[in-house]
């Protein structure tokens, strides 16, 4: 199964860090972990991706467990503009980028 498991929803306060978890217990050694987010009325937007090591970019950080069965997307200081649905996706041997249900993040002022 190419799907990942994420909480349906999470809530955060503005200016605070947010940790979005994802389980991918059946991931293969060559599958990358991608994160996308979708703001209302927009297409999905690439956030970050990684294979084994933790990754940082201007938008977020990605922490990948040593056994690669789980990962966490970290938004260091949530803003109201970060309210979106966040999708964690395995992409590799199965060929296509298949979306799971995602986590709806709400940010309170």
Partner 1 sequence: DTEVTQTPKHLVMGMTNKKSLKCEQHMGHRAMYWYKQKAKKPPELMFVYSYEKLSINESVPSRFSPECPNSSLLNLHLHALQPEDSALYLCASSVYPGNYNLPLHFGNGTRLTVT
Residue numbers at the binding site for partner 1 (CB under 8 A): 30-32, 34, 36, 41-46, 49, 51, 87, 91-92, 95-102
Q: Select 41 or 58, whichever has its Cβ closest to partner 1.
A: 41
d(CA 54, CA 31): 15
Token pair belonging to 70: 């789980």
Q: Select 32 or 72, whichever has its Cβ closest to partner 1.
A: 32
Question: Are residues 70 and 42 in contact, defined by beta-carbon separation less than 8 angstroms?
Answer: no
Q: Select 13 or 57, whichever has its Cβ closest to partner 1.
A: 57
Q: How far is the CB of 32 from partner 1 (least distance, A)?
A: 5
Token pair belonging to 38: 């979708």
CA 53 from chain centre, in angstroms, equals: 15
């Amino acid at each position: 199964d190419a799907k990942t498991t994420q909480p349906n929803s999470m809530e955060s306060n503005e200016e605070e860090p947010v940790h979005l978890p994802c389980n991918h217990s059946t991931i293969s050694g060559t599958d990358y972990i991608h994160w996308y987010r979708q703001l209302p009325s927009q297409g999905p937007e690439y956030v970050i991706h990684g294979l084994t090591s933790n990754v940082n970019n201007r938008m977020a950080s990605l922490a990948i467990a040593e056994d690669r069965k789980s990962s966490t997307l970290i938004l260091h200081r949530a803003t109201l503009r970060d309210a979106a649905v966040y999708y964690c996706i395995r992409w590799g041997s199965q060929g296509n980028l298949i979306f799971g249900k995602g986590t709806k993040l709400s940010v309170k002022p």
